[in-house]
Amino acid sequence: MNILVCISNVPDTTTKVKFADDNKKLDIAGIQWVINPWDELSLTRALELKDVASSEVAKVSVAHVGPATSEPTIRKALAIGADDAYRVNTEATDAMQVAAELAEVVKSGSFDIILCGIESSDYNGANVGGMLAEFLDYTSVSGISALNVSGGEINVTREIDGGKEQLVVKAPFVGIVQKGIAKEPRIAAMRGIMLARKKPIQVSEPKQAESATALLGFEAPPPRAACKFIDADNPKQLISLLQNEAKVI
């Protein structure tokens, strides 16, 4: 069984974002780029499944749609333990384009489980996984918080709105992963970093999928009112403010 983990390259989650070019572009000066947190957890789980004794997972690959400047992030995924990588050489402008390009990668290889994070921490779209599944006409399971493979059977837990379900899924499928799938992201060890240098990254040119959206510009979120402090000796006042001033309880 082969697993493909789709990874997105995003600003470190503590970044205070700034914009350039008349608020039309992200100002990338000084940004630290990382693997999108959910993708990192998916990769960790895929590797855990590969590392067990008599594992049924033969290979873990990663795929990324992005320019050469995102290679450090791909190398990081290889250093963590992925066997090889695919990169589609284009700067996509929306999720539809990314998914269309990833679909080409999937078709070019032989993958049973394709994992995507539930969203990327930059544009918070939550779209690529589902779109990819539809381009491929595969089943997709969203909100996955546990993944197991045994006896050729794939078991997942997914969160539904108001509960959880244990499922058996037939491969190939696209799994859209949320938190819980792995406890902590795996960290690259020195040996991994050395090995990663020699692991292959297969670069392909885009099929030039069309974008369905256009980003017109960014705006700062509206400012919030300053905090009103209530004396710790009189917490009752908080309840009365919430009842009579904010009118929310």
Partner 1 sequence: MSIIVYTENWDGKFKKLSFELSSYAAKLAEMLNEETIAISIGRVEAEELKKLASYGIKKIITVTDDRLQTFDSRTYTKVISDICAKESAQVIIMANNNSGKSLAPRLSVRLKAAICSAAHELPESISPFVIRKRVFSGGALARTELKTDIKLITLTQNSFDLCESPVDVVIEAFTPEPEGASPAITIKEQEKQTGKVLLADAEIVISGGRGMKTPDNWGPLEELAELLDGATACSRPVSDEGWRPHEEHTGQTGKIIAPNVYFAIGISGATQHLAGISSSKYIVAINNDKDAPIFEAAQYGIVGDAAKILPQLVEAVKESKAS
Ligand X SMILES: Cc1cc2nc3c(=O)[nH]c(=O)nc-3n(C[C@H](O)[C@H](O)[C@H](O)COP(=O)(O)OP(=O)(O)OC[C@H]3O[C@@H](n4cnc5c(N)ncnc54)[C@H](O)[C@@H]3O)c2cc1C
- The alpha carbon torsion through 5, 6, 8, 9 (nearest 10 deg) reads 60
User: Which residues in the 111-140 window bind partner 1 by CB under 8 A?
Assistant: 118, 121-131, 133-135, 137-140
Q: Which residues form the interface with ligand X (CB under 6 A)?
A: 13, 37
DSSP, res 121? T
* Of 79 and 88, CB closest to ligand X: 79
Q: Residue 92: which of 172, 6, 208, 176 has the closest Cα?
A: 208
Rule CB under 8 A: say whether 183 interacts with partner 1: yes
Query: Least distance from C-beta 172 to partner 1, angstroms?
Result: 9
Q: Which two tokens stand for residue 69?
A: 């400047």
Query: Least distance from C-beta 158 to partner 1, angstroms?
Result: 8
Among 64, 101, 173, 175, binds partner 1 (CB under 8 A): 173
Q: Residue 166: which of 148, 183, 184, 139 has the closest Cα?
A: 148
Q: Which does 90 bind (CB under 5 to 8 A by kind): partner 1, ligand X, none?
A: none
Among 170, 194, 203, 205, binds partner 1 (CB under 8 A): 170
Query: Least distance from C-beta 169 to ligand X, angstroms?
Result: 26
Altogether, the residues listed in the chain come to a count of 249
Between CA 208 and CA 88 the distance in angstroms is 10
Size of the site for partner 1 (CB under 8 A): 86
Please give the distance of CA 206 from its chain centroid, rounded to a whole number: 21
Among 4, 8, 38, 113, binds partner 1 (CB under 8 A): 38
CA atoms within 13 A on the CB side of 104: 19
User: Which residues in the 92-111 window bind partner 1 by CB under 8 A?
Assistant: 94-96, 99
